[in-house]
Amino acid sequence: MKRFLCFVFAVMLLFTTVACVNQPEDESDTATTTAAPESTTGPEEPEFLAFDTVERVDYNGYTFRILYPQADQCYTDFYAPQLNGAITNDAIFERNLMVKDAFGIEIDIKWQSYTQVNTDLQTQVTSGLTDYDMYGGHRTSLALSYGGYLYDFYDMSAINLDGEWWDPAWVKTMSYDGSIYTLVGDISISSLLFVSSLCFNKQLFDDYGLEYPYELVRNKKWTYDVLYNMIKDYGSDLNGDGKMTYDQDRYGIVGWGTEAGYSLFYASGFTFVSKTRDDKFEINFNTERLTSIMNRVFETWTTSGSYFNNSGSAAEHPYPFSVFTDNRALFCDSVLSKIGTFIAGMESDYGILPQPMFDEFQENYYSYTGYTIPVTMVPANCPDPDRTGRIIEAFCTASYDEVTPDMYEIVTSVKNARDAESSEMIQIIIRNKFFDPAHWYVLQGYGTLSRDIIASGNNNITSRLKAIQKVAQNNLDTITAAFEELKKK
């Protein structure tokens, strides 16, 4: 909370011009002097630093070894060989240096494909090796959790899972019966940016006399219905050729299928796999609510004023964003990181919003978080859990103190947000990341259901559920049975 308040204060400073008037050094002898009132406040509390909560131990030059995914979005989490003036790079460099100096260690980072990371971790455990202290995985790595290859972070006393630096939504959603084998948190700055948002074109809103939705968001009235009513009649065949084409016509909303196929759906807070009271997984059979949500999502993304690109082609990736930056779309679905890549350079002003709620009865906004974000893992045969846990906690807390504030600055003031309201909205987005075990454990049929239905153009949700429920239940039964076996060991 303190970090959030500091951030809000920083935003206020950023968007407020303060005039300073210097007083003359010498005052007239006849000037009236008013004594300052005595201070009634005590000494200022020292700034809380999460890094200071980690016990210091000198490890006498130990080399802490990390194997991390060889992917563009993952390099920024640890790779910073030297200072180069770039905000993110220099923050990571300083964080790594803080950890090295605090514990007297060296850091050795290697990079491999996602598949090879998983294979190397399995080999390390089955062969009794100690090649790496920490691994970075992604959603395919979650199978290692119930396979018995990962260390339970609840058994690492140095890891404070109640700290803000470890994502509470991940811990709550992905734990099983009091165990958690993978973590997401500030240790990975990329995880802060791969969350869904919705950009809107301020120029077009002004041209058509539309109110910016910020106040709707604040009052919990930013809903599916409001979004749909804004976009449903906005699309237009500008060139009159009788068809809607991305490079010629006007749209209410545009999006890239890999993200847009999930972001609006998961903004409802619905999960295909929910948690029981004893912290175990179960299929969510609330088909009535699911059908209502899917109907609205399908309606939004298949109306004539929507452009949903599901090609998966890298060459077509920029297409939805180009429609938006060309002032031919009211809204653009995007994860925060891609705003800087595809949108920040547009001439027209734009704003950033969370995805809308399903209805006003929903408790909060929810931000779908892409399954390409890295997850932190420790092999089950970890030789020194205290040392490993302490160093990982140091990385995460140092990031919380030193790196994350810089990432907020990048998102809100340097690249992506052009107004104080969007800065406020980004806080809502980041604070409400959302995860579905069905999506992350890749339960057959469920993990991609919303995207598949939108892309097919056929909202046959009932028949699809009937076709996949038995197989998905068998998948989940296999996973839970494996977790139960781990508990017996």
The residue that leads in pLDDT, 2 or 93, is 93
What pLDDT is attached to residue 44? 56
For residues 286-297, average pLDDT: 94
Q: Are 424 and 7 in contact (CB under 8 A)?
A: no
267: pLDDT strictly greater than 90: yes
Q: Round to whole Å and give the CA distance between 179 and 171.
A: 9
Given a contact cutoff of 8 angstroms between Cβ atoms, the answer to whether 480 and 279 are in contact is no
What's domain 194-370+442-469's architecture?
3-Layer(aba) Sandwich (3.40)
Mean pLDDT of all residues in 175-179 = 97
Given a contact cutoff of 8 angstroms between Cβ atoms, the answer to whether 201 and 330 are in contact is yes
Residues 6+ apart with CB under 8 A from 323: 246, 247, 251, 254, 307, 329, 332
- The set of residues, in sequence order, having a beta carbon less than 8 Å from that of 285 and lying 6+ positions away, is none
Please, what sign has the CA dihedral across residues 99, 100, 101, 103? positive
**Alpha carbon distance 63, 109 (integer Å):** 10
Range with the poorest average pLDDT among 22-26, 184-188, 388-392? 22-26
- Residue 45: what pLDDT? 61
CA–CA separation, 324 and 318 (whole Å)? 10
Q: What is the pLDDT of residue 418?
A: 52
Tell me the mean pLDDT in the region 299-324.
Answer: 94
Q: Which of 57-61, 355-359, 380-384, 447-451 has the lowest mean pLDDT?
A: 447-451
Average pLDDT over residues 67-86: 87
The fold adopted by the segment(s) 54-192+371-430 is D-Maltodextrin-Binding Protein; domain 2 (3.40.190)
Looking at every residue in the chain, the average pLDDT score rounds to 88
- When mean pLDDT is compared over 25-39, 45-59, 154-168, the highest value belongs to 154-168
Does the structure show a pLDDT above 90 at 17? Answer: no
Q: Is pLDDT at 91 greater than 50 in this prediction?
A: yes
Q: How confident is the model at residue 183 (pLDDT cuts 50, 70, 90)?
A: very high
Asked if pLDDT for residue 461 goes beyond 80, the answer is: yes
> What type of residue sits at position 460?
N
Q: At what angle do helices 420-431 and 2-14 cross, to 10 degrees?
A: 160
User: What's the whole-model pTM score?
Assistant: 0.84
Task: For residues 127-154, give the mean pLDDT.
Answer: 96
**Percentage of the chain modeled with pLDDT above 70:** 88
Please say if the pLDDT value at position 413 is more than 50.
no
Q: Does the pLDDT at position 449 exceed 80?
A: yes
Residue 166 has pLDDT above 90, yes or no: yes
Proportion of the chain above pLDDT 90, given as a percent: 70
Higher pLDDT, 256 or 411: 256
Pair of tokens at residue 457: 């153009």
Q: State the distance between the two ends of the chain, measured CA to CA, in whole angstroms.
A: 39
Q: Which of 310, 235, 301, 316 is nearest to 264 (CA)?
A: 301
What per-residue confidence (pLDDT) applies to 375? Answer: 96
Q: What is the pLDDT of residue 1?
A: 45
Domain with CATH 3.40.190.10 in the chain: 54-192+371-430, 194-370+442-469
Structure confidence at residue 427 (pLDDT): 82
Q: Residue 344: is its pLDDT beyond 90?
A: no
